[in-house]
Structure 1
Amino acid sequence: MRNILVLVRKEFLQIFRNRQLLPFMTVLPVVQVILLTFAANYEIKNLRLGIWDLDQSTSSSQLIHKFTGANFFQKTDLINNQKKADDLLMRDAIDLVLVIPKDFEKNIKIQNSPPAVQFQINALNNSKAGIVQNYASAITQDFMSDVRGNANTSASPKIIPVTNFWYNPTLNYKTIMLPGIVAEVMTLIIILICALNVVREREIGTIEQLNVTPLKKYEFILGKLIPFWFIGHFIFWAGIALGRLIFHIPMVGSLGLLELFLAVFLFVPLGIGLFISTAVETQQQALFTSFFFIILFILMCGLFTPVETMPDWAQWVNQLNPLKYFVEVNRLILLKGSGIAEIYPFILKMFVYGIGINALAIWRFKKTS
C-alpha cells in the first residue's frame, strides 16, 4: 500500500510541475463545458417558411396567418411555381414549403370532401425534418379546430396533410449520419497524427539533426504533410465505400466534385495539426490540445444539432470550424446532388483557411524549431 501511495504522490507532483500540461487538464475542460452547454442547443426554432397559395381565399389567408403567427416559423418568401420551390430547397434557403391547393376553402365547406395541404420539407437533416412535420401538422389541425368551432355543422372536415421529405424520403438516420461521421473520423486522425509526428521528432532529437542538414524548412514540412494528405484520402474514401456497400448510402452528386473539395479541405486539418505541434513540447500535450479542438469541432459541426439553432455568437465562432463545412458539403453532394455553383464558395473558404493556418503554422515552426 505504501508503494502505491508514493507512486500516487509522485504522479501528482509531476502533473503540478508541468506548467504546460496543467492548463490543458483544468482550464480547457471548463471552457469546453461552458461553451458547449450554450452552443449545443437542441431547440428547433426560426424555421424558414415558404408559402405557395393556389387558392387565394379567406381560409387560405387564415391558415397562412396561423403559420406566420407561430413562434416556430418565420415567413421568408412567397412562391408561385414549383421551380422556385425547388430552387429554394436546393439552395437550402428554406425548411418548409406550405402548398395550399385550389378549392381549399370550398372543400372546407363540403363535409365529405376534406381539404388537403402539402408540406414540402427539406429533410437533409432528418431529425429536424421530423420536428418540422410535427409543428406544421399541429398548426393545421389547430386551424381546423378553429373552423369547427366557428362552423354551424357538427361534423366539419379535417385537413389531410400530404408530406414529401426531400433528399431523404425515408428519414433514414444512417443516410444523414455516415457522411458526417466519416468526415469527423478523418479530420480527427489527420490532426492527431500530424501534431504527434512532428512533436515526436522534437522529443527524440531527430529534428535537431534535420536542422543542420541542407534540407530546407519548407521541404521538411512538405515531406511531413504530403504523406498525411494521401492518408486522409484513403481514410475518407474507404469510409464512403463501406457506407455504400453496407448501409447503401446514396451518392446523387459528382464524386469528382467531392474529391476536389476533399483535396483542398485536407490542408486545413494538416495546418491545424502542424500549428498544434509548434505550440506544445511533448506528445502528451499535443494529444490533449488536439482533443480540445476536435471535441469542439465535432459537437458544433451540425451533425448532432442544427447550426441554425445555435446562438448568434456561437454561429459566428463556428465559422472557424472546418468540420462544419465538410459535413455540409458531404450532404449537399451525396444526398442533394449539388453542383459546382453551390460548392465553390465552400472550396474558396477552405482554400483561404488552408493558406492562412499553414502560413501561421510555418511561421511558428521557424520561431520554435
Structure 2
Amino acid sequence: MRTIKFLLQKEFRQIFRNRSILGMVIFMPIVQLIVLPLAANYEVKNISVAVIDNDHSSFSRKLIAKVTSSGYFRLTGYNFSFNQAYQLIERDKADLILEIPQGFERNLVRENEQKLFVAVNAINGTKANLGSVYLMNVIQDFNGEVRLQFIQPGRFNQQPIIDIAASNRYNPMLDYHKFMVPGILATLVTMIGCFLTALNIVKEKEVGTIEQINVTPIKKHHFILGKLIPFWILGNVVFTLGLIVAWLVYGIVPVGNLLLLYGFITVYLLAVSGFGLLISTFCESQQQAMFIMFFFIMIFILMGGLFTSVDSMPDWAKIITKFNPVSYLIEVMRMIILKGSGLKNVLPQLGVISLFAITFNGWAIFNYKKTG
C-alpha cells in the first residue's frame, strides 16, 4: 500500500501542475453538458414551406394560416406556379411545397373530398420525414374542423369511434432534455476516463521517466493501479458535477438510487480507464494514442444508442454494440435516472461491465513491458 500511496502522490502532483488537465476535467464537461443538450434537439422546427394557392378561397387561407401558426412551419414562398416553388427547393430555401388545387373549397364542401399535393425535399431524410408527418397532421386537424363546422351531420359515416387515452410514463411532458442529458453525461465520463488514461503512460515514455520507473522495484500491477486510480477519482468528480448541472440547469433529479448509480459508475470507470491504459501500452507517442482513442470514441458514441436506438440498428451493428461499454452506461443511466430501476434490473449490464474491467485491466498489466 505504501508503494501505491507514493505513486498516487506523484500522479496527483503531475495532474495539479498541468492546468490543461484540470480545465478538461472541470470546465469542459460543464460547458458541454450545458450547451450540447440545447443543440441536440430531436424536435424539428422552422420547416420552410412554399405554398401554391390556386383556389384563393376562405378555406385555403384558413389552411395556410393553420400551417404557419402551428409553430413548426414558416412560410418562405407564396407562389403562383409549381415551377416557381420548385426553384425555392433547388436553392434550399424551402423544405416542403404545399399545392392547393383550384376548387378546393367547393369540392371539399360539396363532394366531401379533395386532394392536396405535397412535395418534400428529402436530402435531409429526418427533416423530410418529420416535416411531412407534421404537415399531414395539420391538414388532418384542419379537415376535422371543416367537417364539424360545415358538413351536415347526416353525411357522416356512422362508424364506431375509438377514443385513445395515452399516458407517457417516466417522461410525462416528453422533454427531450431528460432523454439526452443522461446519455451526453455518459459520453463525457467515457471521454475523460479513456483519453486521459490513454495519454498517461505514453507521456512517461515521451519524457523518458518510464525508464527510471522500470529500474525501480515497483511491480507492474502497482504501476497500473497508480495510473488508474487518479483518473478513476477524476471521472467520479466529472460525474458528480454532471449530476449537479443536470439538476440546476434542466431540473433532472435521479428517480432511482444514487448509491446504485455511483456503484455502476465506479465499475464502469475501472473498465474504460483500463481500456485507456491498455491502448497506452501499445503506443509510443501521445499523438498515436490520441488517434487510436479518437477512432474508438467515435464508434462508442455513434453506436452507443445516444442518437440512434440500438433496436433500430441492423443485426451486425447490434452485435458490435454488445462490445461497446458506452451502450451499457447510457442504458443504465436512463434506467436509473428516469425509470428508477433497481439492482435486479441493471445486474446484467453490471456483469458485462465488470467483465470488461477485469479483461482490460488484466490485459494492460500483462502487456506492460517492465524491464530492469
What TM-score results when the alignment is normalised by the length of structure 1? 0.58
The answer for the alignment partner of 1:156 in structure 2 is 158
SS across alignment from 1:221: helix
1:219 to 217, 222, 246: 222
Residue 160 of structure 1 and its aligned partner are, at CA, apart by 3.0
Aligned letter for 1:274?
Answer: L
Residue 368 of structure 1 and its aligned partner are, at CA, apart by 9.1
Write the distance in 2 (CA, Å) between the matches of 1:276 and 1:294: 12
Write the distance in 2 (CA, Å) between the matches of 1:182 and 1:255: 15
1:261 matches 2:264: yes
Runs of 5+ unmatched residues, structure 1: 1-41, 43-126, 142-151
SS across alignment from 1:366: coil
Once the two structures are superposed, residues 234-285 of structure 1 have per-residue CA deviations (whole angstroms, 9 ceiling, x without a partner) of: 0011101110111001311100110111111111111110111012110001
2:317 to 314, 317, 320: 314
Once the two structures are superposed, residues 91-121 of structure 1 have per-residue CA deviations (whole angstroms, 9 ceiling, x without a partner) of: xxxxxxxxxxxxxxxxxxxxxxxxxxxxxxx
1:299 matches 2:302: yes
1:140-151 matches, cutoff 5 A: none
Residue 346 of structure 1 and its aligned partner are, at CA, apart by 1.3
2:176 to 158, 173, 178: 173
Write the distance in 2 (CA, Å) between the matches of 1:304 and 1:221: 34
Once the two structures are superposed, residues 213-254 of structure 1 have per-residue CA deviations (whole angstroms, 9 ceiling, x without a partner) of: 121111111111101110010001110111011100131110
Report the RMSD for the aligned CA atoms in angstroms: 2.7
1:63-142 matches, cutoff 5 A: none
Aligned letter for 2:158?
Answer: S
SS across alignment from 2:271: helix
Write the distance in 2 (CA, Å) between the matches of 1:156 and 1:191: 64
1:184 matches 2:184: no
1:274 matches 2:277: yes
Aligned letter for 2:324?
Answer: N
Look at both structures and tell me which one has the larger radius of gyration over its CA atoms: 2
The answer for the alignment partner of 1:351 in structure 2 is 354
The answer for the alignment partner of 1:201 in structure 2 is 204
Report if aligned partners of 1:264, 1:351 keep a CA contact under 8 Å in 2: yes
1:232 to 213, 235, 244: 235
What percent identity do the matched residue pairs reach?
47
SS across alignment from 1:169: coil
Write the distance in 1 (CA, Å) between the matches of 2:254 and 2:221: 38
Report if aligned partners of 2:170, 2:338 keep a CA contact under 8 Å in 1: yes
The answer for the alignment partner of 1:68 in structure 2 is none
Report if aligned partners of 1:251, 1:333 keep a CA contact under 8 Å in 2: yes
Report if aligned partners of 1:278, 1:368 keep a CA contact under 8 Å in 2: no
Runs of 5+ unmatched residues, structure 2: 1-41, 43-125, 141-153
Report if aligned partners of 2:194, 2:293 keep a CA contact under 8 Å in 1: yes
Write the distance in 1 (CA, Å) between the matches of 2:253 and 2:227: 35
What TM-score results when the alignment is normalised by the length of structure 2? 0.57
SS across alignment from 1:156: coil
Paired residues in the alignment total 227
Write the distance in 2 (CA, Å) between the matches of 1:240 and 1:361: 31
The answer for the alignment partner of 1:288 in structure 2 is 291
Report if aligned partners of 2:214, 2:371 keep a CA contact under 8 Å in 1: no
SS across alignment from 1:261: helix
1:331 matches 2:334: yes
Residue 155 of structure 1 and its aligned partner are, at CA, apart by 3.2
Residue 161 of structure 1 and its aligned partner are, at CA, apart by 2.3
SS across alignment from 1:165: coil
SS across alignment from 2:166: strand
Write the distance in 1 (CA, Å) between the matches of 2:230 and 2:162: 60
SS across alignment from 1:164: coil
1:44-63 matches, cutoff 5 A: none
Report if aligned partners of 2:214, 2:370 keep a CA contact under 8 Å in 1: no
Write the distance in 2 (CA, Å) between the matches of 1:298 and 1:359: 25
Aligned letter for 1:279?
Answer: F
List structure 1 runs of 4+ shifted beyond 4 angstroms: none
Once the two structures are superposed, residues 115-171 of structure 1 have per-residue CA deviations (whole angstroms, 9 ceiling, x without a partner) of: xxxxxxxxxxxx9xxx9xx8xx99xx9xxxxxxxxxx97333543322111111111
1:5-20 matches, cutoff 5 A: none
Aligned letter for 1:203?
Answer: E
Report if aligned partners of 2:267, 2:353 keep a CA contact under 8 Å in 1: yes
Report if aligned partners of 2:246, 2:253 keep a CA contact under 8 Å in 1: no
Write the distance in 2 (CA, Å) between the matches of 1:330 and 1:368: 42
